[in-house]
A and B are shown apart, each in its own frame.
Chain A
Amino acid sequence: MITVELIKMLRRPRTWLIIGMLIALPTLVAVLLAITDLGPRPGTGPPFLSAVLSDGTLFPLAALGVVLPLLLPIAVAVLGGDAIAGESQMGTLRYLLVRPVGRTQLLLAKLVTVVAFVLLAVLAVAAVSYVEGRLLLGRAPATGTVSLSGSTLTQQELTWRTALALGYMIICMLGVAAVALFFSTLTRSSIGAALGTVGMLIASTVLLGLDAANALHPFLPTRHWLAFVDLFRDPILWRDVTRGLIVQLGYLTVFTLAAWANFSTKDIDD
């Protein structure tokens, strides 16, 4: 079932359109930076953007930092929201279920597919922006990349830290995917499910800007998304990354279980 779902995802033109859009934005950023040479002042704007002017090897991270707060979660919300509701809308859900495909199995396959999409999207963005960084932006100093704390990172260190950062982002997106999947089992409208998810993320962002909501901050889904930046400090600052992981796994567990509970007892009568 998972294979079938993966093939279905890869065969949809929409998947590639979304990935194309995800790549387009950092590309635009790279071109603008290369032409104007105007980076944001250190400490402002998306992470790493000021650093890439001197060191193009950091551009994949900068690109992901550009994409992560808004574009990638929206893409995940669209795919996750479409997972069950879209099948229901097309009338294919009932045909899958009488095949029979187990309901839990279908839900799991959908979740795995969204994860595969995130992986594909993140890798595509990273790969394209790596090339762009090399071609358009500054070359890495011969001594190695400078970490955010000022010390020097070897190529090897940079590689595994980047891999860790990618993994962290994927887990963050998994939380979003679980929420979207849950909404997707509630409604027949995939747009509704996607908007519900995006709405929740926007609410979370709004609350993060509100001091009165301080008590809620540690539990908000978007709170620790950009904590992957801490992986490039020397030594690595684990606190926010660990908290982020725990929060995201919490969302993943709660909403996956809710989706399962709702879907496995649901009357399919569209």
Chain B
Amino acid sequence: MTGQAMTNGQAIRTQGLTKRYGELWAVNAVDLEVRTGEVYGFLGANGSGKTTTLRMLLGLVLPTAGEAEVLGMPMPAARQKVLPRVGSLVESPGAYPHLSGAANLAILDATGSDRSPRQLRRTRISTTLEQVGLNAADRRPVRAYSQGMRQRLGLAAALMRRPPLLILDEPSNGLDPQGIQEMRRLLQQLNHEGTTIFLSSHLLAEIEQMCTHVGVLHSGRLMLQERLDTLLRPTGMAAVRTPDTQRCVALLGGSVVRVDGDRLLVRAAEPARLNSYLVGQGLRVDEIGPYRRTLEQVVLDAETRA
């Protein structure tokens, strides 16, 4: 978390946000809470309602019920005030295929209610393109771009006006591993400078490396919303790997939670003490350490609870 995160402004808040398509509850009574300065990872399988939620936050889809506030103002009612301060990437990036990347950004930047002076716009476009790793002098039309380049262009469109809040849907889509890393660095840097980031993904590793907070959406319901370090803190259990499984179980009895081959899960507040106890009893210990759940387990647990 950055220093900025200590200011407790609300970046996004929803109450009972719901979207129904006929019989299908795409988003069902979701209460999101994202505070200024957070990097909030919005997790969920494809079709879990992530994108619909994002679209409601941006005023593209109108909710069936519930309320949404973005930057402290109601959406979609205050969209003319809110949206100029939000940068967004919604699903696949869209661009006019016959124009260059810079020309696309210029068109986008020339629209909207908050027009800036021409000179500022021009420099802003080239710096943003460089920032996302595109060549500002590239005159090729977007139709010649690779998917990764399109994704970068979409990100550039979101960043162009230096918004205090970024809402990004699957930002690493179509990027190669190096591109993903570059994007992560860029977003982290922006977050350090004070930008709040709300991003959706189904890639757990990406969320785990970047986010301070996590929300898990499953079949339109928010199953979990928590700080990442709280979710992944030690569980009061130790993971032990030993060839002497039988003896170990006999010795520890009820405090063994699970046995899986040569791995044991043992209830123990201090793994170091458990280690010296086991070794003192003449057991061979290959590995021992505090047991933490992975984000994957956290998500699976949350989803199976449903």
A residues within 8 Å of B by Cβ?
1, 3-4, 7-8, 11-13, 90-102, 265, 267-269
Known A-B contacts A100-B79, A102-B80; A95 and B113 likewise in contact (beta carbons under 8 Å): no
**In-complex Cβ contact of A95 among B80, B94, B97 (8 A):** B94
- Verify B92–A91 contact, CB threshold 8 A: yes
Interface residues of B in 92-112 (CB under 8 A from A): 92-99, 107-108, 110-112
- Verify B60–A91 contact, CB threshold 8 A: no
- Verify A1–B58 contact, CB threshold 8 A: no
- Verify A100–B59 contact, CB threshold 8 A: yes
| 6 extra A-B contacts, CB within 8 A, seeds A3-B110, A4-B111, A269-B51 | A91-B95, A95-B90, A96-B108, A96-B111, A99-B83, A269-B61
The 3 closest A-B pairs by CB, nearest first: A91-B94, A99-B112, A100-B83
**In-complex Cβ contact of A12 among B59, B83, B98, B111 (8 A):** B98
What B residues does A102 contact at CB under 8 A?
80, 113
Known A-B contacts A11-B99, A267-B61, A268-B60; A90 and B94 likewise in contact (beta carbons under 8 Å): yes
- Verify A265–B111 contact, CB threshold 8 A: no
For residue B222, CB closer than 8 A to chain A, the reply is: no
**In-complex Cβ contact of B60 among A3, A8, A97, A265 (8 A):** A97
**Chain B 62-95: CB-based contact to A (< 8 A → 1; otherwise 0):** 1000000000000000011001101010111111
For residue B216, CB closer than 8 A to chain A, the reply is: no
Per DSSP, chain B at the interface is loop
- Verify B59–A97 contact, CB threshold 8 A: yes
Cβ contacts A to B, 20 pairs, < 8 Å? A4-B111, A12-B98, A13-B98, A90-B94, A92-B94, A92-B95, A92-B96, A94-B58, A94-B91, A94-B94, A98-B86, A99-B84, A99-B112, A100-B83, A100-B112, A102-B80, A267-B61, A268-B60, A269-B52, A269-B55
What A residues does B108 contact at CB under 8 A?
95-96, 99
| Interface bin, chain B | 20 to 34
What B residues does A96 contact at CB under 8 A?
108, 111
CB distance from B186 to the nearest CB of A (A): 20
Complex alpha-carbon distance, A100 and B292, angstroms: 44
- Verify A267–B60 contact, CB threshold 8 A: yes
Complex alpha-carbon distance, A265 and B96, angstroms: 25
Known A-B contacts A4-B107, A100-B84; A93 and B59 likewise in contact (beta carbons under 8 Å): no
Complex alpha-carbon distance, A148 and B108, angstroms: 51
What B residues does A13 contact at CB under 8 A?
98
CB nearest neighbor in B for A93: B94
For residue B157, CB closer than 8 A to chain A, the reply is: yes
What B residues does A100 contact at CB under 8 A?
59, 79-80, 83-84, 112-113
Most chain A CB neighbours (cut-off 10 Å) among B52, B60, B86, B111: B111
CB distance from B109 to the nearest CB of A (A): 9
What B residues does A95 contact at CB under 8 A?
90, 93-94, 108, 157
Interface residues of B in 285-303 (CB under 8 A from A): none
What B residues does A265 contact at CB under 8 A?
62
CB nearest neighbor in A for B82: A100
CB nearest neighbor in A for B142: A90
What B residues does A93 contact at CB under 8 A?
94
What B residues does A1 contact at CB under 8 A?
111
Complex alpha-carbon distance, A8 and B95, angstroms: 12
CB distance from A91 to the nearest CB of B (A): 3
Known A-B contacts A267-B61, A269-B55, A269-B61; A98 and B88 likewise in contact (beta carbons under 8 Å): yes
CB nearest neighbor in B for A87: B94
- Verify A94–B110 contact, CB threshold 8 A: no
CB nearest neighbor in A for B161: A99
What A residues does B112 contact at CB under 8 A?
99-101
Complex alpha-carbon distance, A3 and B118, angstroms: 14
Complex alpha-carbon distance, A9 and B62, angstroms: 30
Complex alpha-carbon distance, A268 and B76, angstroms: 13
Complex alpha-carbon distance, A116 and B113, angstroms: 23
Complex alpha-carbon distance, A1 and B115, angstroms: 10
What B residues does A269 contact at CB under 8 A?
51-52, 55, 60-61
Most chain B CB neighbours (cut-off 10 Å) among A3, A96, A100: A100
What A residues does B83 contact at CB under 8 A?
98-100
Complex alpha-carbon distance, A3 and B109, angstroms: 13
Known A-B contacts A268-B55, A268-B61; A101 and B111 likewise in contact (beta carbons under 8 Å): yes
What A residues does B51 contact at CB under 8 A?
269
Complex alpha-carbon distance, A57 and B86, angstroms: 58
What B residues does A91 contact at CB under 8 A?
91-95
Complex alpha-carbon distance, A13 and B98, angstroms: 9
CB distance from A264 to the nearest CB of B (A): 10
What A residues does B92 contact at CB under 8 A?
91
What A residues does B95 contact at CB under 8 A?
90-92
Complex alpha-carbon distance, A93 and B90, angstroms: 11
Complex alpha-carbon distance, A3 and B115, angstroms: 13
**In-complex Cβ contact of A98 among B59, B91, B93, B99 (8 A):** B59
CB nearest neighbor in A for B104: A92
Complex alpha-carbon distance, A12 and B91, angstroms: 25
Complex alpha-carbon distance, A269 and B110, angstroms: 24
